[in-house]
Amino acid sequence: MAETGQKIETVGVIGAGAMGRGIAQVGMTGGMTVLLFDAMAGAAAKARDAIFAQLDQMVAKNRLESAAAEAAKARLSVAESLDAFKAADLVVEAIVENLAIKQDVFRQLEAIVRPDCLLASNTSSLRIASIAAACRQRDRIAGLHFFNPVPLMKLVEVIRAPGTSDATIATLVTVGERMGRLPVVVQDSPGFLVNLGGRAYTQEALRIVSEGVATPAQVDAVMRDNWGFKMGPFELMDLTGIDVNFPVSQIIHEGYFYDRRLATAPLHQLLKESGQFGRKTRQGFFAYDEAGKGVVPPADATTAAAPAGRVVLADADDEALGELLRSLGLEVSGFDDGDSAILCAPLGEDCSTYAARLKLDHRRLFALDIAGKLDKRLTLMRAPGARRDLFDAVVARLHAAGRAVVTIHDSPGFIGQRIAAMVANLGCEMAQIRVASPADIDKAMTLGLNYPFGPLALADAMGLETVHTVLTQLQDITGDDRYRPSLWLRRRALLGLSALTED
């Protein structure tokens, strides 16, 4: 059996698709001999040629020395059968996501490889324990989950199944580092770390649109401009493919025994069933032209109304809102003249709840979300029955102050508060159930999904009390257990601790 620090010199890769090719390439450039096998005749040779072309391109772009590229090429061989893996120190399987087929491959491998050869699966959705169940020597079996495209994505998840030895995990961490990746050790659970953690961003966005609060374009604009995400959730789903992200969402939801916090929306299924998968079909949440460029409807409000000059603060003690409004050129008063617009900045509440709680005129009450960055775009919310003339006048003033404006229907938590709080809460829940360490959760989410910050760092930046308030308000108003705060979040909010504080 492998011991801690075992040197891996020869790596077998099964599967010559995009993932297998990428794993082979980083293995070669990491100084290891790679044996590449695919059951389809000619597939491995074709993959070898594609890898060589990729290395040549890297040389041409001065990203790799010519001598290093030639040395890497010399370390790759095409295997004609699984028998070639008798010489392997590690075999990585990267084939179809079918449990029966993977189990059959692992059974065959166990009869071929040395007792000290490690066996790893690149599966993204199947439990490692389920794959290992077909084998006798389970302590040497683990997950080694790379991300596509492998040569560009620096993260690799090292998955520990119940039977996996510490020595196997330690060796695979070293292998990941030799391949130029940044490994995180993750427990064997549905979706592992990144696929699980990524559910909140897209699925809360789907809920917001399904409730008629905003359009996909509006949600994307808010999450890019106000919260710093490089891609909005709908743009992201269209890119990865709805035929991919919907089934993964279902697998994870089922795997966690239908936890409401992981449920997607009927709209997600509708697009999948209709064959509108996103960019690959030129129609998803957005339409795409032949070059793959999205044809995105406008997100910003337009109005020809005269700008508002005076507004009333719903809460005269809300200094942050008052300061913002004055900076935007509004006269702010604490006295209600019975006709001016009333502005508020609630946490987790909608206008209807706020108006009823404080006995304010809901027709004149409008809410600004002052969480997140406010230099480019503002979100303005109204209750049912709101006076449109006053609403338009406030929008016009915000435009005159140089801000784009997203106008939405009533929603507890607006857009940004809801999504950000759910991302933070899921990160806290992953820490609570020990999917990985808090630091590794944040590292994986930033590397694997290109988030601007990890979910636990996001919770700290928002303030744990703020995140907890947003979620409890959402849960109270909607009656939906979906917004149940993680105990990890609740305890640290009560004690004034960072979300990154370990037990």
Catalytic positions, please?
A: 124, 145, 157, 195
Judge contact between 218 and 232, C-beta under 8 A: no
Tokens matching residue 190:
């549905």
Judge residue 135's burial from the number of C-beta atoms within 10 Å of its C-beta, 0-12 exposed, 13-18 middle, 19 or more buried: middle
Query: 347 with 318: CB under 8 angstroms?
Result: no
CA torsion, ordered 213, 217, 222, 225, to nearest 10 deg: -170
Which H or E run contains 141?
strand 141-146
Q: How far is 267 from 262, CA to CA, in rounded Å?
A: 15
Say which residue the tokens 């891609």 belong to. 231
The token duo for 326 is: 């004055």
Give the max Cα distance, the chain.
Answer: 86
Which residues are bridge partners to 343 per DSSP? 313, 366
Strands 33-37 and 10-14: parallel
CA proximity to 39, closest of 98, 87, 125: 98
Dihedral angle, C-alpha 411, 369, 221, 415, nearest 10 °: -30
Residues written for the chain: 503
